[in-house]
Amino acid sequence: MTARATDARRAAVLGSPIDHSLSPVLHRAAYEELGLTHWSYDRFDVDEAALPGFVAELGPEWAGLSLTMPLKRAVIPLLDEVSETAASVEAVNTLVFTEDGRRVGDNTDIPGMVAALREHGIEQVDSAAILGAGATASSALAALARVCTGEVVVYVRSGARAAEMRQWGERLDVEVRTEDWSDAAEALHRPLVIATTPAGTTDALAATVPERPTTLFDVLYEPWPTELAARWSMFGGAVVSGLDLLVHQAVLQVEQMTGCARAPLAAMRKAGEHALAAR
């Protein structure tokens, strides 16, 4: 069903902490561009313990929820249906309430990553590297299942994380090899490097960027650019940012929640850029 401007509907992003989230900026920009003047999008600090009660109390005016850490797995038992994409990584970042009251979960991070790469001309690579093995790394691996035709090398700090990433590789049908973080500089020579680590983690690698780097996808958007991304750009390499990912996954969320066929990517990105500049 396509949304109408006169329908008073609500959506929000949940997580803990949540004050940093750019999702309200992006979704509200989309509503304005689409003429959905009666739609609102808020943020709520909700942890795993409070999530069931929060969802249970939502009324029929609610169209959907965006979910960030630590709720992407915690929400799954509350759903009536989970998409194949979300099930593949056991992580839901999008909850849509259907007209008949069902709760449907999806993961827009994975197709969002693929869309961000394609926007930068990356349709297919024959090998790739992932820096880190946290929650975002599994989504990156799922995205690479659609983009990478060969080996994915994951650089990790612990044996337990290495084993987890190899298991994800088997589950996603991706050829995964793990290496110790001490050898992470080797990753920078791959056709595509996806950095999934927290701020500051890859700073030491900036000095080892090769003279002719290829493509770096750094999932961070604040602070930006990271030292690695700045050095990569300086040497002429292509850089895909965390804001690219955030906007593309939000576009898919807006389309699912509102029923509009095409969310306004450019307006959403511009709003995100202005919000980050203001910080």
Q: How far is CA 112 from CA 75, 247, 251, 252, 262, in A?
A: 20, 8, 8, 8, 14
Which residues are known to be catalytic?
A: 72
| CB atoms inside a 10 Å sphere around CB 234 | 12
SS3 for 80-149, per residue?
Answer: CEECHHHHHHCCCCEEEECCCCCEEEECCHHHHHHHHHHHCCCCCECCEEEECCCHHHHHHHHHHHHHEC
List of residues 6+ apart from 18 with CB closer than 8 A = 43, 44, 45, 46, 68
